[in-house]
């Protein structure tokens, strides 16, 4: 039985336990004088019994699914000759892939006859594991349901107990999000440490040449590579800076107009159009940047006598990226400005201020924490963009301050380094994790700054 079929069966069993638990609460109440003697409504007794059935079975199913593959894989590898057991990394993954494909019938011929006993063992282990999982999960679910059904009594505080179950589930959900974030961070940190064992940290952070493509293996000429990330940082900041120079003024002015000046009719037209702009896929923006914006910019600057304008430039990518995040800035600023108390506006108008003076001297200072927070979030969005940069700015890691030249960013290089079949023991591939760690650190600092600004100025206007 597949995991999805087993999960569907669990849902049916839990639903049956709910119905039986609810019926039992009614029957027990009738035996002592009626429904009014129940502490809680009958539905709560059924829900509590269903929780007793569902939670143990789901936990066992999740744990089984998480550790099944690892245990089976280790058991199969123990049957292989020692020469295979000594392998590590991607080579061991290739061996496992061949054994797995043989077991599934995807391939019929093994590269080594020693794989056939491992295939037979894998087949037996998969069958045993599936059967054992099905029997144990169903048995545990039924036992839990019976236990919850037997606990039903008129004086049982089913509603209070079920509320505690819901609270525990909500806490578990929040912990999953936190643990997922922690897991991502640790995975990136550990791989980055492996990279810095191969490449000095100072060379990575302060180096001015980025050329990892030649660092494939030791047999290739010049395989030491060049892993100076300064050109990537400069390109990222340049494109993000151009995007913010476009998005922040336009987005803020759009928000001010929609909140303070536009009629409800105009707002009902412009607001949906901005939301449509926010829903356009980034690859469409990339096409627009590569096929329209970049050639237009090249023709314009060459027409005024500027030479050496690249067909792929940071300016083209930054301008289109700025257009892309205008709805992001506008929407956040719109919400923040709308949240400014009406009493502040009325007080300003009562003192004789005009609408523009009220916006500049009252509304903007009061909304500043939210606006700064929104701008920093928009900066994080710009820094993390990939598709527009790939199509409009190119892949060349040039260290330049000229926005008319081709540059690349951290996210583009991460995508480039991890495309295709890669050797995860090489500095070339591990460099992607180091770049990801630096990107994570930068976005984290932006979020910390945003929180600090919000906290500082909110105390002034609360």
Within-domain flag for 175: no
Q: Which residue in 395, 371, 384, 393 sits closest to 435, CA to CA?
A: 384
Cβ contact 406:398 at 8 Å: yes
DSSP for 319-366 reads HHHHHHHHHHHHHHHHHHHHTS-HHHHHHHHHTT--HHHHIIIIIHHH
Cβ contact 21:49 at 8 Å: yes
How far is 185 from 53, CA to CA, in rounded Å? Answer: 35
Which stretches of the chain score pLDDT less than 70? 1, 32, 35-37, 88-90, 213-224, 420-424, 457-462
Domain interval for residue 334? 226-461
Instruction: Give me 232's structure tokens.
Output: 């990537």
* Of 107, 127, 156, the domain-final residue: 156
State the pLDDT at residue 222. Answer: 46
- Clarify whether residues 141 and 231 are in a common domain: no
* Of 156, 178, 200, the domain-final residue: 156
State the pLDDT at residue 221. Answer: 43
Task: Quickly count helices (H) and strands (E) in the chain.
Answer: 18, 2
DSSP-derived 3-state class of residue 226: strand
Number of domains the chain contains: 2
Within-domain flag for 239: yes
Within-domain flag for 218: no
How far is 328 from 340, CA to CA, in rounded Å? Answer: 19
Cβ contact 355:260 at 8 Å: yes
* Alpha carbon distances (Å) from 435 to 318, 373, 440: 21, 25, 9
Within-domain flag for 435: yes
State the pLDDT at residue 420. Answer: 64
Within-domain flag for 351: yes
- Clarify whether residues 266 and 134 are in a common domain: no
State the pLDDT at residue 458. Answer: 62
Residue 270 CB-density burial (10 A; 0-12 exposed, 13-18 middle, 19+ buried): middle
Within-domain flag for 170: no
How far is 386 from 211, CA to CA, in rounded Å? Answer: 19
Within-domain flag for 413: yes
State the pLDDT at residue 457. Answer: 64
Within-domain flag for 93: yes
Q: Which pTM value belongs to this model? A: 0.71
State the pLDDT at residue 248. Answer: 92
State the pLDDT at residue 245. Answer: 93
* Of 156, 183, 210, the domain-final residue: 156
State the pLDDT at residue 386. Answer: 82
- Clarify whether residues 130 and 259 are in a common domain: no
State the pLDDT at residue 424. Answer: 67
- Clarify whether residues 242 and 152 are in a common domain: no
* Alpha carbon distances (Å) from 348 to 261, 276, 354: 16, 35, 8
State the pLDDT at residue 244. Answer: 92
- Clarify whether residues 243 and 379 are in a common domain: yes
State the pLDDT at residue 220. Answer: 45
**How crowded is residue 409: how many other Cβ atoms within 10 Å of its Cβ?**
33
User: What CATH number does residue 302 fall under?
Assistant: 1.10.3720.10
DSSP-derived 3-state class of residue 211: strand
Which residue reads 């590569």 in tokens?
290
- Clarify whether residues 149 and 232 are in a common domain: no
- Clarify whether residues 136 and 234 are in a common domain: no
């Amino acid at each position: 039985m597949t995991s999805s079929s087993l999960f569907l069966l669990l849902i049916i069993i839990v639903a049956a336990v709910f119905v039986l638990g609810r019926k039992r609460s009614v029957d027990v109440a009738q035996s002592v004088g009626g429904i009014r003697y129940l502490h809680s409504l009958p539905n709560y007794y059924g829900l509590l019994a269903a929780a007793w059935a569902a939670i143990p079975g789901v936990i066992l199913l999740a744990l089984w699914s998480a550790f099944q593959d690892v245990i089976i894989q280790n058991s199969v590898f123990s049957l292989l000759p020692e020469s295979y057991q000594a392998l590590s990394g991607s080579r061991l993954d290739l061996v496992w892939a061949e054994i797995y494909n043989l077991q599934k019938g995807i391939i019929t011929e093994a590269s080594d006859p020693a794989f056939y006993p491992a295939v037979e063992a894998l087949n037996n282990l998969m069958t045993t594991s599936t059967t054992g999982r099905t029997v144990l999960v169903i048995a545990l679910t039924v036992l839990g349901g019976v236990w919850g059904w037997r606990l039903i009594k008129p004086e049982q505080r089913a509603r209070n107990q079920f509320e505690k179950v819901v609270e525990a589930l909500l806490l578990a959900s929040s912990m999953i999000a936190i643990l997922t974030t922690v897991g991502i961070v640790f995975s990136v940190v550990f791989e980055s440490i492996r990279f810095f064992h191969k490449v000095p940290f100072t060379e990575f952070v302060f180096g001015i040449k980025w050329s990892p493509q030649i660092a494939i293996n030791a047999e290739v000429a010049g395989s030491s590579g060049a892993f100076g990330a300064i050109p990537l940082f400069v390109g990222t900041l340049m494109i993000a800076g151009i995007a913010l120079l476009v998005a922040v003024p336009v987005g803020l002015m759009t928000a001010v107009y929609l909140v303070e000046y536009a009629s409800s009719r105009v707002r009902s037209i412009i607001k949906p159009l901005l939301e449509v702009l926010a829903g356009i896929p980034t690859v469409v923006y990339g096409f627009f940047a590569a096929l329209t914006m970049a050639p237009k910019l090249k023709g314009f600057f060459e027409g005024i006598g500027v030479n050496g304008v690249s067909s792929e430039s940071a300016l083209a990518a930054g301008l289109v990226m700025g257009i892309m995040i205008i709805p992001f800035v506008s929407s956040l600023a719109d919400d923040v400005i709308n949240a400014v108390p009406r009493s502040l506006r009325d007080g300003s108008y009562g003192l004789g201020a005009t609408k523009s003076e009220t916006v500049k001297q009252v509304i903007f200072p009061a909304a500043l924490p939210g606006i700064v927070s929104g701008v920093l979030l928009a900066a994080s969005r710009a820094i993390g963009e990939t598709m527009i940069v790939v199509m409009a700015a190119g892949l060349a890691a040039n260290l330049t301050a000229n926005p008319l030249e081709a540059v690349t960013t951290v996210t583009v290089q991460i995508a480039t380094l991890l495309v295709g079949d890669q050797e995860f023991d090489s500095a070339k591939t591990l460099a992607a994790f180091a770049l990801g760690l630096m990107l994570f650190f930068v976005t984290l600092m932006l979020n910390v700054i945003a929180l600090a600004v919000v906290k500082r100025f909110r105390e002034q206007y609360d």
